[in-house]
A and B are shown apart, each in its own frame.
Chain A
């Protein structure tokens, strides 16, 4: 399956191009929408967690603190929201054309990866404008991103395959993503989570993910292995399960879609 996807890498590129062409066609303000999700969540975070609750972010400005986690978070959320319905949304090409079905969700992840650059730019602007700029540990970024991509690919492959058989998945996704956001220390620090709950928090692969991103992007510490372990385990598990489920069921997509 990997080899077939590689042979169709050009198709992935074309599908990504299509997604971009389509997204802003017939919309009025276009590219603004790429920046909207992290900025909107940041706004909510500033009001609720910074002003109302008053979480302690140490010496770091709250918006820089929150954005450092919103960079990986928005990538996950965009990938899942675009990727999970991508297969079931294309019945006409699934039933008529032959190609590795995985290129559909993968190209959506590719699009989210490009959106990621937009949120990095926002983060950099905030970091240099309101904080101390980027520490040297930001060079860990590619490695962390690699782990996150593995996790996202696994989740999206599994979700998009399951969604072909049960459209419940697509309906559940927005809700789950929202809940997931609140249960991940994106808008508040992990240190503010009470001791008894923190172990549970670390079972969430995204906790380790955003904490590590925050450490390298804001605090200037290298990732802490204990925290990152959950993320790596989650990524490997998700990738194995997602990949094998997708491969086992993809031949039936055309029959049930």
Chain B
């Protein structure tokens, strides 16, 4: 039994405001007549947010949806939730649905948090009486009990985000649609949410999960759908689709191993997104070379310096969610001239299978960061056949030597005496 069956769905939106709405306000069947009479006028200023999307989600399973911004992820979620209807195609959803689209929840900023929770319950058909007992649990979950009777407009962004997730814990649902909401909140709250979602899935709930945070997607879903420009680019087991997606992210950045800061990157520097630093020295170009079968990684960077004559070079790695995993630091090197280059080889790579983003940095001898640049190019590591019991314990493989009474390995090395 499928919880969701989406068949050949296309969703067409109109661009712009104002007179384009005239076409929308015609009631059926007048809109059909106008479309037939003036097809060109009718289709002007339109774009397809979704094109021929087909998917089905069996009950009790979980699906992740990934894609670049504007790929149609939220639209797909809205269509499944029934907030908007598809232009063509069919959507069938069975079960009690709750959708958490955006973090901004609630009905009205002037109402208190408690009143907002009651209203959300009313939308989902939970009776006021049975809601009364759940409201306190919602605020306990969100850990904002003291703010229950404060108007929503006085909540901080973090509190609203917490309440938004906590609200769904009060509803009896068996199909949950979540759009990029775990990105907010601190780490401990995120853990609470993940724990709750695990329980929810354990009790047979169906989950559809949209996120840019690939590590969440990896942990929470069995299957992943990759949307690209409104079309299904891939649909399959999580590990497979995510690898395809990460490789595409790689080639999206030009596909070459060489990286030169472009004008857009400079803009990002100004916004503190991918690159920052005190200046005085900067990385000019980075060249990433992956060794055969992920055996090693060679990174060369050319630099330009205006104020430093000695520096420490650093190559660090972040995971998909931007957590810093570790770094390799050079010794204090003296720089000769204004330009030069350094080369670093990491061998063997201490990572398990996954997607990692290199960060290159130049530090002055006193430890201040002069230039720190997170590359958009990902390093994808696939270690086939290395699955072991502890494979999901973090991204780093720690090299180790073990001594003990029965230190004989049971598998793999038995042929060695």
- A: which residues have CB within 8 A of B? 7-8, 10-11, 13-15, 18, 21-22, 25-26, 90, 92-99, 162, 164-166, 244-245, 248-249, 251-252, 254-256
Q: Does B81 contact A (CB under 8 A)?
A: yes
Question: Once the chains are docked, how many angstroms separate the CA of A256 from the CA of B83?
Answer: 12
Which residues in B have their C-beta under 8 angstroms from that of A248? 27-28
Q: Check B27–A251 contact: CB distance below 8 A.
A: no
Pick the residue among A94, A97, A162, A244 that contacts B99 (CB under 8 A): A97
Task: Show 11 A/B contacts (Cβ-Cβ < 8 Å), sorted by A.
Answer: A10-B122, A13-B122, A18-B107, A22-B108, A22-B110, A25-B110, A95-B78, A96-B102, A251-B85, A255-B14, A255-B24
Q: Tell which of B123-131, B136-144, B255-263, B265-273 binds the partner.
A: B123-131
Question: Once the chains are docked, how many angstroms separate the CA of A252 from the CA of B24?
Answer: 7
Nearest-neighbor residue (CB-CB) of A90 within chain B: B107
Q: Check B25–A165 contact: CB distance below 8 A.
A: yes
Interface hub of B21, B84, B115, B123 (most chain A Cβ within 10 A): B123
Can you list, as one digit per residue, whether each of B20-34 has a CB less than 8 Å from chain A (1) or not (0)? Answer: 011011011000000
Given contacts A25-B110, A244-B27, A255-B24, contact A18 B119 (CB under 8 A): yes
Given contacts A22-B110, A25-B110, contact A254 B125 (CB under 8 A): no
Q: Check B119–A14 contact: CB distance below 8 A.
A: yes
Question: Once the chains are docked, how many angstroms separate the CA of A95 from the CA of B100?
Answer: 11
- B: which residues have CB within 8 A of A? 13-14, 21-22, 24-25, 27-28, 78, 81-85, 97, 99, 101-102, 104-105, 107-108, 110-111, 115, 118-120, 122-123, 125, 127-128
What is the predominant secondary structure among interface residues of chain B facing chain A?
A: mixed
Which residues in B have their C-beta under 8 angstroms from that of A7? 125
Q: Check B25–A10 contact: CB distance below 8 A.
A: no
Question: Once the chains are docked, how many angstroms separate the CA of A72 from the CA of B174?
Answer: 46
Q: Check B85–A98 contact: CB distance below 8 A.
A: no
Pick the residue among B28, B99, B104, B122 that contacts A92 (CB under 8 A): B104
Q: Check A97–B111 contact: CB distance below 8 A.
A: no
Question: Once the chains are docked, how many angstroms separate the CA of A97 from the CA of B102?
Answer: 11
Q: Check A98–B122 contact: CB distance below 8 A.
A: no
Q: Check B25–A98 contact: CB distance below 8 A.
A: no
Q: Check A97–B83 contact: CB distance below 8 A.
A: yes
Question: Once the chains are docked, how many angstroms separate the CA of A8 from the CA of B99?
Answer: 18
Nearest-neighbor residue (CB-CB) of B17 within chain A: A256
Interface hub of B119, B120, B122 (most chain A Cβ within 10 A): B122
Q: Check B127–A15 contact: CB distance below 8 A.
A: no
Given contacts A10-B127, A22-B108, A22-B111, contact A256 B122 (CB under 8 A): no
Q: Check B115–A98 contact: CB distance below 8 A.
A: no
Q: Check A98–B110 contact: CB distance below 8 A.
A: no
Which residues in B have their C-beta under 8 angstroms from that of A255? 13-14, 24, 84
Smallest Cβ distance from A244 to chain B, in angstroms?
7
Shortest Cβ-Cβ A-B pairs, 7 listed? A165-B25, A248-B27, A14-B122, A254-B84, A11-B122, A251-B85, A98-B82
Which residues in A have their C-beta under 8 angstroms from that of B97? 98
Smallest Cβ distance from B409 to chain A, in angstroms?
54
Given contacts A22-B108, A22-B110, contact A98 B99 (CB under 8 A): yes
Question: Once the chains are docked, how many angstroms separate the CA of A15 from the CA of B24?
Answer: 27
Which residues in A have their C-beta under 8 angstroms from that of B127? 10
Given contacts A21-B111, A22-B110, contact A14 B99 (CB under 8 A): no
Pick the residue among A11, A18, A96 that contacts B83 (CB under 8 A): A96
Q: Check B99–A96 contact: CB distance below 8 A.
A: yes
Pick the residue among A14, A25, A90, A245 that contacts B128 (CB under 8 A): A14
Q: Check A254–B111 contact: CB distance below 8 A.
A: no
Smallest Cβ distance from B99 to chain A, in angstroms?
7
